[in-house]
Chains A and B, each alone.
Chain A
Amino acid sequence: MAMDINDKHRLKNRLLKAGHLIALFIAMCIICVPGLWVVVNSFRPTVEIMAKPPVWIPTEFNLDHYRAMFGAVGEGGIPVVRYFTNSLIISVTSTLIALLVGMAGGYAFARYRFKGKAAIFVGMMLTRAVPGIALSLPLFIVFARVGIIDTHFGLILAYVAMNVPFTIWLIDGFFRQVPKELAEAAEIDGCTRWQAFWKVEFPVAKAGIASAGIFAFLTSWNEYALASQLTRSVNSKTMPVGLLDFTSEFTLNWGGMSALAVVMIIPALILTFIVQKHLIAGLTFGGVKG
């Protein structure tokens, strides 16, 4: 009788364990397969991608789509290099500026008490909540007037504004993890507040700030709604907008698009993995410890 209960529980535990593994496997498949599908297709000839019935086990891998993409315009080539440099210049510059602005703002929220702090914080967050497409209308009008449509500068400006609120949130959280006493000790040891910040608080919060930077970078790197309206030509088009070059009225060049997608994903992939730990810590700390 007694053994019965124990056996039943043992069996139940084993079944639960098996169920857990199966569920985990399915979940991971759903997460991975769509992305892997894109990567695999970037190396497959179009005939095979379009084959009916489908070819499940790829028979041939080649770099044709990449070659075509970097090739001459008119033969399936698109100005990838220009798009890539545009994306890079715009994302990096806007990230650096957003970081500087965000560090100042985040420090203010983390270290000073002032009236209406919570309201100002939420107000700043709300500017981020404005849908990109809704913001693009007036920005388009203003930028057109000022003459910065289709320039790096225009998009950089827009992305700085887009990234500042969230950067402030993250950096605020990181600075609050640095004990106040550290900076106070530095000041007692003879630093000015400015020196105390750069010599003590900044180095301690550095890793966190870097991850806030990467978050901002990814947002700019992947942004589409604003970029699609504020850019016009190879002068400033970024890669997400460039993806649409593979579409024509009725057809889509899946293979070519997959190849550009891979070029887009790789930098994002590398950066995300570098900072994943800090990113999670920053988001949760800032949020939970109010």
Chain B
Amino acid sequence: MRRSKLPEWFVLLLPAFIILAAVVLIPLVLSFYSSFTAYRLTRPDSINNWIGFRNYVRLFEDAGFWWAFGRTVFLLTIALNLEMLLGLGLALLVNKVTWGQRGLRTIMMFPMMFSPVLVGFQFKFIFNDNIGLMNNALQSLGLTDQAIPWLVDGGLAMFSIIFAEVWMSTSVFAILILAGLFAVPQDPLEAAKVDGCTPWQTFRHITLPFIMPFIYIALAIRSLDVARAYDIVKIMTNGGPANRTELIWTQLARTGYVDAKMGLANAMGYISIFLAIFFTVYFFRKLNASRQILGMAD
């Protein structure tokens, strides 16, 4: 009766394979090809204009691109670390609460349901130098009488973007780390207290190793989605002022859609993909290692 010799697991995974191949892999192959051409959206036949590595060479020689690349890595490093630390702090604060914890947990998830574009607008609004909540508050409290140019000054704009990004994503860390804290067995914690640990030492030597896998899950999940920051930056500054917040993603969008240089943009796209893959693989490895230490892996 059964003619197909395909293993069941393969049949089950087949729909996933097909859809991922059709929507991700094949287009990526196409974009890989087009990154070696001088393809321009405005002239469709230019996709046959093979130029070898010239797009990549141009990128490697383009200081603006390297700045954007460096800025992206900088933003991700700062944002992910801050999110992890703040998420950890928030989780510890909530974990200590004995009353009304459910409500706090619900509030904590609040930013998770905001669309990144919306977060962008929201903070564009808040950091507006004229009518923004931030300046209004600072001025009303008498901390400053000037309008601080949050989104107009390069350094402050970067700060504002990181603030928005951290606001949006800290809760993912906090929620997962909190779940980790719930899963820490009580006995070793009490043993450590009796063994003479200060609260800090208990945290450092017992709690932290236990929640490390959860931190890495959060980092892995986040790293799958780092490019979400594009939406925020696109809305808040669109790379400005004077390219001071230009990231690899905003530059890529501009090159592809505004300047219509698809080949070049795809070359950038590939570099951004490798960047994302690097982060993802790195955290998945860390996750496995931390699980091994606790003897959790199968």
Q: Which of A41-93 contact B (CB under 8 A)?
A: 41, 49-54, 56
Is A135 a contact partner of B24 (Cβ separation < 8 A)? yes
A28 with B273: CB separation less than 8 A: no
The 8 Å CB contact of A101, one of B16, B96, B121, B140, is B16
Within 5-33 of B, Cβ neighbours of A (below 8 Å) are at 7-10, 12-16, 19-20, 22-28, 30-31
B9 touches A264 (CB 8 A): no
B31 proximity list for chain A (CB < 8 A): 134, 137-138, 141
- Determine how close the nearest CB of chain A comes to the CB of B151; give it in whole angstroms: 12
- CB closest chain-B residue, reference A227: B117
Do A108 and B114 form a contact, CB below 8 Å, given A56-B140, A161-B20, A283-B221? no
Q: B280 interface residue, CB < 8 Å from A?
A: yes
B13 touches A27 (CB 8 A): no
> Shortest beta-carbon distance, B267 to chain A, in Å?
10
Enumerate chain A residues within 8 angstroms of B224, measured Cβ to Cβ.
Answer: 125, 128-129, 165-166
Q: Across the interface, which residues of B come within 8 angstroms of A20, CB to CB? A: 93, 96
Residues 249-270 (chain B) with a chain A CB within 8 angstroms: 249, 252-253, 256-257, 262, 265-266, 268-270
Q: B115 in the interface, Cβ–Cβ < 8 Å?
A: yes
Interface residues of A in 1-48 (CB under 8 A from B): 20, 23-24, 27-28, 30-35, 37-38, 41
Known: A127-B20, A134-B269, A138-B30. A34 touches B25 (CB 8 A): no
A134-B227, A243-B121, A261-B122 as given contacts; A160 in contact with B23, CB under 8 Å: yes
Query: In residues 195-243 of chain A, which contact B (Cβ within 8 Å)?
Result: 218, 221-225, 229, 239-240, 243
**Assuming the A-B contacts A129-B276, A161-B22, A288-B217, are A112 and B9 also in contact, with contact meaning beta carbons closer than 8 angstroms in the complex?**
yes
Count of inter-chain pairs, beta carbons less than 8 A = 275
Give A136-147 as 1s and 0s: 1 = Cβ < 8 Å from B's Cβ atoms: 011101100000
Cα–Cα, bound, A289→B14 (Å): 25
Q: Check if B121 sits within 8 Å of A49, measured CB to CB.
A: no
Also in contact, A137 and B269, with CB within 8 A (given A35-B114, A105-B15, A127-B20): yes
- Give chain A nearest CB distance to B211 CB in angstroms: 10
Within 8 A of B (CB), among A152-173: 157-158, 160-161, 164-166, 168
Report yes or no: B284 in contact with A122, Cβ–Cβ below 8 A: yes
What number of A residues sit within 8 Å (CB to CB) of B? 88
Query: CB < 8 Å: which of A53, A131, A284 contacts B227?
Result: A131
Complexed CA–CA distance, A164 and B16 (Å): 7
Is residue A273 contacting chain B, with contact meaning CB distance below 8 A?
A: yes
Main SS at interface, chain B = helix
Contacts of A269 in B (CB 8 A): 113
Chain A residues closer than 8 Å to B71, beta-carbon distance: none
> What does the 1/0 interface line of B173-210 toward A look like (CB < 8 Å)?
00110111001000000000000000000000000000
Smallest distance from the beta carbon of B171 to chain A beta carbons, Å?
7
Name the B residues within 8 Å of A33 (CB-CB).
133
Q: Could you give, for residues 268-283 of chain B, a 1 whenever the CB lies within 8 Å of some chain A CB and a 0 otherwise?
A: 1110110011011100
Q: How far is the CA of A276 from the CA of B198 in the complex (A)?
A: 34
Complex contacts, B122 vs chain A, CB 8 Å? 34-35, 37-38, 261
- The reply to whether the CB of A133 lies closer than 8 angstroms to some CB of chain B is yes
Report the bound CA distance from A244 to B262 in whole Å.
24
B84 is an interface residue with CB less than 8 A from chain A: no
Pick from B13, B20, B171, B257: contact of A31, CB under 8 Å = B171
Cβ-defined partner of B12 (8 Å) among A35, A104, A161, A289: A104
Query: Do A273 and B223 touch across chains, with their CB atoms under 8 A apart?
Result: no
Min CB distance, A169 to chain B, in Å? 9
CB <8 Å contact, A132 and B115? no
Question: Within 8 Å of chain A (Cβ to Cβ): is B73?
Answer: no
Question: Given the known A-B contacts A34-B167, A243-B121, A284-B180, are A131 and B20 also in contact in the complex, defined by CB atoms under 8 Å?
Answer: no
A50 touches B131 (CB 8 A): yes
A265 touches B114 (CB 8 A): yes
Q: What are 30 of the A-B contact pairs (CB < 8 Å)?
A: A27-B89, A27-B90, A31-B107, A31-B111, A37-B125, A50-B131, A53-B140, A100-B15, A104-B13, A108-B9, A114-B7, A114-B10, A122-B281, A124-B16, A129-B223, A129-B273, A134-B268, A135-B27, A157-B23, A164-B20, A222-B118, A239-B115, A243-B121, A244-B117, A268-B113, A268-B115, A281-B179, A284-B176, A284-B179, A290-B298
Binding site for A on B (CB under 8 A): 7-10, 12-16, 19-20, 22-28, 30-31, 34, 89-90, 93-94, 96-97, 104-118, 121-126, 130-131, 133, 136, 139-140, 167, 171, 175-176, 178-180, 183, 213-214, 216-217, 220-221, 223-228, 230-231, 234, 249, 252-253, 256-257, 262, 265-266, 268-270, 272-273, 276-277, 279-281, 284, 287-288, 291, 296-298
